[in-house]
Amino acid sequence: MAALRAAKQALRRDIKQRVAALSEQEKQRQSKVVSQKLFKHPIYASCDRIAVFLSMHDEVRTEEILRDLFARGKTCFIPKYQTQGSHMDMLQLHSMQDMDSLPLTSWNIKQPSDEDLTRAEALATGGLDLILMPGLGFDQSGNRLGRGKGFYDSYLERCIRHPRGKPYTIALAFKEQLCQEIPVDDNDMLIDEVLYEDPGVVVECR
């Protein structure tokens, strides 16, 4: 386990350096390419209940995706992380104005406040069709390197136990986040696809 943790930490440092070397303009350019691929994806088109992350500085930008979700009349959910532990819920987001009104956490991520108890939680109200996944690194076998907190792995475990079952998972990545092989253990959940800028349409993970 110690060797696996060390391998993951080393890879996290390497990927963070690669992404940090990208200009803001390049991040925006790749994000646009990835977003356009998603909009043409048949699974995205057919899904109604979709969870999407609110992007941090080193992640594919998701603002355009949020606008598209609302324009198509889909039901949108966003993460609410518990800063202590690895618990995460997916709470409904109603509009871009709703997103703009959300407070910032200490991690500089917008999310509903603890006092905001009115939002529907995805698994309590019918489950999810699709989760758009963040992450630090990905490989072509569907392995994902997160930030080490286990939020998404734990949430996907909960999804599997839900009557609707595990939603389809699509990771959104800069091409600098693709790796030959991600070191994983039994708790790391596989993802279905990775979208990134590439001459091909998609990396089929499974």
- 8 belongs to an annotated ligand binding site: yes
Query: What is the average pLDDT across 169-192?
Result: 91
Containing domain of residue 198, as a range? 2-204
- 84 belongs to an annotated ligand binding site: no
**Residue 111 maps to which CATH number?**
3.40.50.10420
Total number of domains constituting the chain: 1
Residue 203 has pLDDT above 80, yes or no: no
- Average pLDDT in the chain: 91
Which are the contacts of 129, defined by CB distance < 8 A and separation ≥ 6?
Answer: 46, 47, 48, 49, 50, 167, 168
pLDDT in tens, 129-142: 999 999 999 998 99
**How far apart, in whole angstroms, are the C-alpha atoms of residue 131 and residue 165?**
12
Query: What is the average pLDDT across 9-30?
Result: 94
Residue 201 has pLDDT above 50, yes or no: no
- 145 belongs to an annotated ligand binding site: yes
- 12 belongs to an annotated ligand binding site: yes
- 152 belongs to an annotated ligand binding site: yes
Residue with more model confidence, 18 or 184: 18
The DSSP letter of residue 102 is S
- Residues linked to residue 203 through DSSP beta bridges, in sequence order: 194
- 32 belongs to an annotated ligand binding site: no
Query: What is the average pLDDT across 166-189?
Result: 91
- 126 belongs to an annotated ligand binding site: no
pLDDT band per the 50, 70, 90 thresholds, residue 42: very high
Contact predicate 103/113, CB 8 Å = yes
Which are the contacts of 54, defined by CB distance < 8 A and separation ≥ 6?
Answer: 62, 78, 79, 99, 109, 110, 111
- pLDDT at 204 (0 to 100): 42
Closest CA to 129 of 180, 187, 170, 88: 170
- 151 belongs to an annotated ligand binding site: yes
Residue 3 has pLDDT above 90, yes or no: no
Q: How far apart are the first and last CA of the chain?
A: 26
Amino acid at 116: D
- pLDDT at 199 (0 to 100): 54
pLDDT band per the 50, 70, 90 thresholds, residue 79: very high
